[in-house]
Every structure is written in structure tokens, then in C-alpha cells.
Amino acid sequence: MPELRIETKGTEVWVRYDGEITFDVVEDLKARMETVFAAPHWKTLIFDLEGVDFLDSSGIGFFVILNNRCSQSGQKLIL
């Protein structure tokens, strides 16, 4: 799986991913994002898509899930 980098800057969590977000990697991405949701004191999740080469419908669904999860927790998702 391509590299997923997670960095906390104050109340922001920056996630950087390089590669394709497809059906093959979405389940692993969801599992790895659990570490973000388990961390306290952040308000904004910024998912940097600069290194993403391709996004299929599973990838779009992944971001819908992230957005819903953030909204339910009173947090914000920025792509």
C-alpha cells in the first residue's frame, strides 16, 4: 500500500496519501484512519489529495464516510 502520512498541527490533523484510492485500498485506509478518530483534541481533518493519482467510486465513498464521521463528531473535513 502506498504511504499514508498523518501529522497533527495544533487542532488540525493533516493526512497525506500518495497513490490510487480504489476498492483495493479503501478498507485499509478506513482502518488506519481509526487512529485519527481515536486521537483527542483535533477539530479539522485536512486530507491532502495532491499525491492521489486516481479515485474510483470506492474512494469517493471513503470520503463520504470520513465526512459523515467528522460531522457526527463535530469536526470538519477539508479535501
pLDDT tens for the 79 residues of the chain, in order: 578 999 999 999 999 999 999 999 999 999 999 999 999 899 999 999 999 999 999 999 999 999 999 999 999 999 9
C-alpha to C-alpha distance for 45 and 75, rounded to whole angstroms: 8
C-alpha to C-alpha distance for 23 and 57, rounded to whole angstroms: 8
pTM, 2 dp = 0.91
C-alpha to C-alpha distance for 56 and 23, rounded to whole angstroms: 7
C-alpha to C-alpha distance for 47 and 4, rounded to whole angstroms: 10
